[in-house]
Amino acid sequence: MIASLAWKNVWRNKKRSLIIIFATALGLWGSLLAGAIWMGWGESMVNTAIARDLSHIQIHRKGYFQNKEVENYIPNGFNILGELSRIPGIKAVSGRTLVEGMAASPTSTFGVKIVGIVPSQAKKVTDIYNRLTAGNYFAGGGRNPIVIGKKLADRLGLKLHSKIVLSFQGFGSSLNYAAFRIIGIYKTDSSIFDQSNVFVRQSDLFRILGHTPVIHEIAIRVQSSQIMPQVYNIVQEKYTHLDVQTWEEIAPEVAFTSAAMESFTYIFIGIILFALLFGITNTMLMAVMERVRELGVLIAVGMTKGKVFTMILLETIILSITGGVAGIVIGGLTISYFSRTGIDLSALASSMETFGTSTSLRPFLPLDMYIALPVMIIITAIFSAVLPAWKAINIQPSAAIRTY
């Protein structure tokens, strides 16, 4: 009956209650949507980076990142490649031969990473083949085909079918030069990646290097990100003599940004709820001050301070939860809508490319946030109720009864 009284008390002044409910709902809707956009942005950065080049797990020879010379290849790399493809949970593997070098056109030069791939393998691990703006992804034959990024093409003033000369250090400190024909130009969400990565066939690279085939990097895609830790453990235990790293270890800045977005969302929602706390407290204070006589009567006839406190607390929770649930539902529906359609940020494309994120943002919020939010709202309500409830339990019934 105290809960029933609390509920009825909330709706005594409908206009005032609806205003604070609306404010709570609006505040939560806005903060949820903002949070979902941030988290969608972070998720986009991660997914884009994994699909573009990181993959889920990478294997290198120990010390490769300190010394990227061509001699630092993975011993028995091709055997390992075969073994990995038989481990459960691994979706695809791709061996990459990596050489640091210079790309030159008749007008300019630029430092690049030359990635030797087997196109059929690489297509299962990265989505570069899907990002072509011109040409094809090693579809035809021909001598020394190359796929380069649009940013690099623009820098070097090159077009599809233009020639590009790559120079790079080979085995035994030999210097190698080779001319390649551009058969494809790709464009990802990262302009930095596009200007510094070129893709050639492994067989062409080995021929130029004059060396038996070797690989420097093995990229692994797992069947789902949920099983990545298990697969990582298996691979790490099997190849203790190699560097086995997750994408989070290889690109900690991407992992940090993604994790930071979740923290920012909680902080932002916390700030909104903190601001709402004052509004709710004010509303409840007004509600208590309007009912001084009635509360005095309740205390006079025998309602304990504990029950008065509980009643005011329940009123505050009802008020907050009603607004909070409305905000969560509307926010959830808005996020669900934009997660399907995406938010078009192509007007900001150049800025987005710098961060390596897609121009079509798909906001999302993890389920645990939808669970945490009502808890945060109830905590806010409890804090909001303290002052009004304190006022209520300290009413002197003898004086309050004669208040008009």
Partner 1 sequence: MPLIELHSLSKVYDDTAFPVHAVKKINLQIEKGEFTAIVGPSGSGKTTLLNLIGGLDKPTEGSVSIEGVDISTLKSSELTNFRLHHIGFVFQAYNLIPVFTARENVEFIMLLQNVSKAEREKRAIELLEAVGLGDRINSRPSQLSGGQQQRVAVARALASRPNFVLADEPTANLDSSAAESLLDMMAQLNKDYEMTFVFSTHDPRVIQRARRVVILQDGAVISDA
Gap between the Cα atoms of 148 and 105, Å rounded: 13
Shortest CB 392 distance to partner 1, Å:
14
Cβ nearer to partner 1, comparing 76 with 394: 394
Which amino acid, one-letter code, is at 4?
Answer: S
Q: Which residues pair with 219 in a beta bridge?
A: 58, 94
Using CB under 8 A as the binding rule, whether residue 1 contacts partner 1 is answered as: yes
Using CB under 8 A as the binding rule, whether residue 13 contacts partner 1 is answered as: no
Using CB under 8 A as the binding rule, whether residue 354 contacts partner 1 is answered as: no
Using CB under 8 A as the binding rule, whether residue 225 contacts partner 1 is answered as: no
In this structure, the strands spanning 197-201 and 109-117 are: parallel
Cβ nearer to partner 1, comparing 122 with 313: 313
Cβ nearer to partner 1, comparing 304 with 336: 304
Q: Which of 16, 113, 305, 391 binds partner 1 (CB under 8 A)?
A: 305
Query: What tokens were used for 384?
Result: 């909001």
Measuring CA to CA, how many Å separate 24 from each of 27, 321, 394?
Answer: 5, 9, 28
Using CB under 8 A as the binding rule, whether residue 68 contacts partner 1 is answered as: no
Shortest CB 396 distance to partner 1, Å:
8
Using CB under 8 A as the binding rule, whether residue 307 contacts partner 1 is answered as: yes
* Contact pattern from residue 240 through residue 279 relative to partner 1, giving x for each residue in contact according to CB under 8 A and a dash for the rest: ----------------------------------------
Cβ nearer to partner 1, comparing 241 with 402: 402
Q: Which residues pair with 100 in a beta bridge?
A: 113
Which residue has tokens 């004669």?
402
Q: For residue 89, with 0-12 CB atoms within 10 Å meaning exposed, 13-18 middle and 19 or more buried, which class applies? A: middle
Chain positions 275 to 304 lying near partner 1, rule: CB under 8 A, are: 293-294, 297-304
Using CB under 8 A as the binding rule, whether residue 16 contacts partner 1 is answered as: no
Using CB under 8 A as the binding rule, whether residue 228 contacts partner 1 is answered as: no
Burial track 240-261 (b if 16+ CB lie within 10 A, e otherwise): eebbbbbbbebbeebbebbeeb
Using CB under 8 A as the binding rule, whether residue 347 contacts partner 1 is answered as: no
Shortest CB 397 distance to partner 1, Å:
5
Shortest CB 294 distance to partner 1, Å:
7
Shortest CB 303 distance to partner 1, Å:
6
Cβ nearer to partner 1, comparing 117 with 400: 400
Which residue has tokens 């192509």?
346
Cβ nearer to partner 1, comparing 86 with 402: 402
Helix intervals (H) in 160-213: 191-196, 202-209
User: Quick count: other Cβ atoms within 10 Å of Cβ 108?
Assistant: 12
CA within 13 Å, CB half, 290: 11
Shortest CB 8 distance to partner 1, Å:
4
Q: What interhelical angle do 367-393 and 14-49 show, nearest 10?
A: 150
Which amino acid, one-letter code, is at 267?
Answer: I
**DSSP, res 51:** I
Using CB under 8 A as the binding rule, whether residue 8 contacts partner 1 is answered as: yes
Shortest CB 270 distance to partner 1, Å:
34
Element (H, E) at 322: helix 305-341
Q: Which residues pair with 149 in a beta bridge?
A: 186
Size, binding site for partner 1 by CB under 8 A: 23
Residues that bind partner 1 (CB under 8 A): 1-2, 5, 8-9, 12, 293-294, 297-305, 307, 397-398, 401-402, 404
